[in-house]
Amino acid sequence: MPLAKPFVLGNWKMNGLRADGEALALRIIEQQRRGERGGTLGICPPATLLAPLAALLDGSGILLGGQDCAPAPAGAFTGDIGAPMLADIGCRLVIVGHSERRHGHGEDDRLVRAKAAAGHAAGLLVVLCVGETEPEREAGATIDVLDRQLAGSLPEDATAENLVVAYEPVWAIGTGRTPSVADIASAHAHMRARLGALVDGGSALRLLYGGSVKPANAGQIMAIPDVDGVLVGGASLDAGQFDAIYSAGQRAAA
């Protein structure tokens, strides 16, 4: 899928009842129409809002995504959502391997890889999250963790067109803390080189940074050469902040 830079993706997590979610989506759509800007905008609302939001987003150019998918396409998996169901409802992408799944639900690289492959089989762009925990960072193991997670969770059919990798340090998610610009730059440069070795044409893969991105730091982060966009959690629940982050990305890409 062609993704113009900056790619700004909102992860609403488990937030939003129908009226709030629709109102937020309508504000994002209105801001996008007013701005007529380049780049790519996407939102991943909770599964309960995918159908109503698919209808609202139709024709807006804003991508709709799921926050997770099952490794199997269908079957006796109570509570799970298959990637074909996401595609069927109008999703263009799916997040897999988010730290709240890896660490909160015990998902390992093998399962994340199976989910990514399921996303691809359904024709979805897969946003694969990787990132170290705070103890791993303190032990100086960030690069080792990234290498391990990339090697273990990249699906075999990954290409620069069907996969995006998001570097999300676990300790930066929802905490208001971010790595330094130099640390993000070196993690992304390392991932780009590693992906070039692991995937045919992999050095062209789009790389996102995620973890406490706000309007105040978004421009600085998206000005880093190997950062193609951002994955935004908390700030994506506020249409004004989400728009300010997108605008900062536009200026950084200009």
Among residues 120, 168, 188, 190, which one is catalytic?
168
Based on the shown chain and the rule CB under 6 A, indicate whether residue 11 belongs to the binding site for ligand PEP. yes
Based on the shown chain and the rule CB under 6 A, indicate whether residue 212 belongs to the binding site for ligand PEP. yes
Q: What does the alpha-carbon distance between residue 166 and residue 97 come to, in Å, rounded to a whole number?
A: 10
Question: Site map for ligand PEP, 225-254, x if CB under 6 A?
Answer: ------xxxxx-------------------
All residues at 6 or more sequence positions from 239 whose CB lies less than 8 Å from its CB, including other chains: 24, 27, 28, 31
Q: Which residue from 242, 253, 224 is spatially nearest to 8, judged by alpha carbons? A: 242
30 is annotated as an active-site residue: no
103 is annotated as an active-site residue: no
Q: What minimum distance in Å lies between the beta carbon of 210 and ligand PEP?
A: 4
Cβ proximity to ligand PEP: between 98 and 192 the closer is 98
Q: What minimum distance in Å lies between the beta carbon of 98 and ligand PEP?
A: 6
Q: What minimum distance in Å lies between the beta carbon of 233 and ligand PEP?
A: 2
Cβ proximity to ligand PEP: between 100 and 226 the closer is 100
Q: What minimum distance in Å lies between the beta carbon of 99 and ligand PEP?
A: 8
Cβ proximity to ligand PEP: between 84 and 210 the closer is 210
Among residues 36, 98, 105, 188, which one is catalytic?
98
CB 67 within 8 A of CB 81: no
Handedness of CA 141, 143, 232, 105 (dihedral sign): negative
All residues at 6 or more sequence positions from 153 whose CB lies less than 8 Å from its CB, including other chains: 96, 97, 109, 110, 112, 113, 116, 128, 130
Q: What minimum distance in Å lies between the beta carbon of 74 and ligand PEP?
A: 27
Among positions 164-193, residues that touch ligand PEP (CB under 6 A) are 168, 173-174
Active site residues: 98, 168
Please give the residue ranges that form the binding site for ligand PEP (CB under 6 A): 11, 168, 173-174, 210-213, 231-235
